[in-house]
Amino acid sequence: MMIQRRTVLGGFAGLGASTLGAMSAPAWAQPAPKKLAPKLRIVIPAMSRTALDEAGRALGDALVGQGLTDEIEYENKEGGGGTTGLAWYVQKYNADPNTFFMGDSNLLGSLALQKSPVDLTKVKPVARLISDYPVVAVAAASPIKTINELVERLRANAKQTPMAIGAVGGADHVFAGLLGKAAGSRPEDVVYMPFVRNFELVDAVMGGKAVAGVSGYGTFSQELASGKLRAIGVSSKKATYGVRSVREQGLDVDITNWRAAFTGQGVPAARQAEMVEAVKASLAYELWKKTLKQAYWEQSWLSGPDLANFIDFDTKTTQLVVQLLKLKA
């Protein structure tokens, strides 16, 4: 979750609103960086066909497409909301100069919930690549038309207003929790229904098991286009995807879900710099740009000390939000 969370925390921690690491497109390196290695590896701490997996594989395709490697090996290490894969990477690839690790804001939530001894201080950030915004969707037949009507229902009976979410502790979970807080509901009364697979989350909303669903726009895009679902709010600061932001509807909340590439602590700084330049160059690949458009992601390049500071602040913010909302694994 990008630190639009400064604004989120302002309501209950006194933090001022500002944006750390504003999104901007990278300036492409000239001349093109050299090939990193004939073969690279990307460790993805999630199952296949999840958003993080798709982002990691899109990065791999781009690295190959731009001639920065000949082949990519992918390792999916799911479990513990990403903490299992992170521990695996740190143990096995800490000093491997040819292996990337994919991480995201959802992993921060899992680390905060589980108080894992292996966290993102055990790896080095290479680059933040993309971001997107959680969207709140309801079934087309739902009487709920606006985000405020959902908040009113949560206020009236939170226990009978289950919300379907993606990763436990992730951007979806936090955003849903903040909606419950806006309603004045007790944290323990807010009901979350987590789903690993996007289609299961969508089915829960369409089938009436959940009153609303919270996930990235891409999760709901087909059903929104067909009219089977209706989007009632998005977590961005202003309207996005043609959906009004919850901020524009009177709720002082905005959250962003980010995804980034990392390397091992044992990888020399010179090699880390080469990895940064290679990743930067790979984002000029046309298929990468096409993937972003199809997935409804925004490119949000950030690297170097700014990225390290961003992740450090977001880690601390996530820990505080998880504690204040009393989120549980």
| pLDDT band for position 32 (cuts 50, 70, 90) | low
DSSP labels, 152-170: HHHHHHGGG--EEESSTTS
- pLDDT, tens digit (0-9, with 9 covering 90-100), for 122-180: 999 999 999 999 999 999 999 999 999 999 999 999 999 999 999 888 899 999 999 99
| Bigger pLDDT: 7 vs 123 | 123
pLDDT for 31: 62
* Joined tokens for residue 322: 């998880």
User: 256: exposed, middle or buried (C-beta count within 10 Å: 0-12, 13-18, 19+)?
Assistant: buried
Domain with residues 21-132+257-324, CATH architecture? 3-Layer(aba) Sandwich (3.40)
Q: Is the pLDDT of residue 236 over 70?
A: yes
Class of domain 135-234: alpha beta
CA dihedral 205, 211, 217, 220 (to 10 degrees): 20
* Beta bridge mates, 40: 72
Element (H, E) at 11: helix 5-13
* Beta bridge mates, 215: 135
Alpha carbons 14 and 169: distance in angstroms, whole number: 22
The number of helices, as runs of H, and strands, as runs of E, in the chain is 11, 11
pLDDT for 19: 36
Phi, psi of 300 (to 5 degrees): -140, 65
**Which sequence spans correspond to the domains of the chain?**
21-132+257-324, 135-234
pTM of the model: 0.86
The average confidence (pLDDT) of the chain is 90
Q: Rounded mean pLDDT of 203-208?
A: 96
CA dihedral 215, 217, 219, 224 (to 10 degrees): 120
Q: Is the pLDDT of residue 18 over 70?
A: no
Element (H, E) at 87: helix 83-93
Q: Is the pLDDT of residue 329 over 90?
A: no
Q: Do domains 21-132+257-324 and 135-234 have the same CATH topology?
A: yes
pLDDT for 167: 83
- pLDDT, tens digit (0-9, with 9 covering 90-100), for 246-269: 999 999 888 889 999 999 999 999
pLDDT for 169: 87
Q: Is the pLDDT of residue 13 over 60?
A: no
